[in-house]
Amino acid sequence: MGKLANLFKQVNRLEKERKILITNHERELKALDINIHTTKSMLEQENIGLNTDTIALAESVIKISGSASRPVVGSRGHGKSCRKDAINDAILKLAENPAALTSSYIGVKNYDGFGDQRSDHSIGMCPRHGGIVFSISRLVRDRDLTDEEVEASIYYLKNIEAIQATKETKPS
C-alpha cells in the first residue's frame, strides 16, 4: 500500500480514537457532575437536619417520580390536595401492609385541565386518559421490606418536599 493510503488510514484511525476519547470523557464528566450534585444535595439535607442515611436507604427501596410540591389545580379547584393525599395513602400502606405496593403504585395523573387526579394502577399500567405526573412505588418487589426499610420509606415520604427541594438543581 502506498504512502497516501497509509496516511489516510492513520488519520481515520486517529479520528476514531479521538471520538472514543471524547465520548468516554463526556461520560466521565456526566458521572462526575451527578456525583457532585448528589453530594451537594446530601450536604443540603444534612444542613436542614435531614438524615441522609435514612434517605439513602429509602431511595434504595421506593421510587418517587414527579414533584410532591407542585400540584396542578383544575379550573374548578380540583387537585389541590391530591399529591398530599397520595403521599398519606402511601405512608398508610407502608405502615399497615408494605406488600400492598409490591404489585401496584400510587399515582396522580393530569388530564386536559382537570387538575391532579388520583390514578393508582398495577405496575406497568397507566391511565386511559392523561399521564402520570407523580407516583410512589416500590423498587424492591422480590422480597418483604425490613422494618428499617419501612421506617426509612415513611421518613422519606413525611419529608418528601424538603428532600425534593434539595435535589431541584440538576447537574449540568
Q: What is the mean pLDDT of the chain?
A: 88
* 47 pLDDT higher than 90: no
How does pLDDT run across 143-166, given as a tens digit for each residue?
999 999 999 999 999 999 999 999
pLDDT of residue 77: 64
Residue ranges of E strands in 66-145? 104-110, 116-118, 121-122, 131-138
Is the torsion defined by CA of 137, 140, 143, 146 positive or negative? negative
Name the pTM for this structure: 0.76
Arithmetic mean of pLDDT, 104-132? 80
Beta-carbon contacts of residue 46 (< 8 Å; ≥ 6 apart)? 52
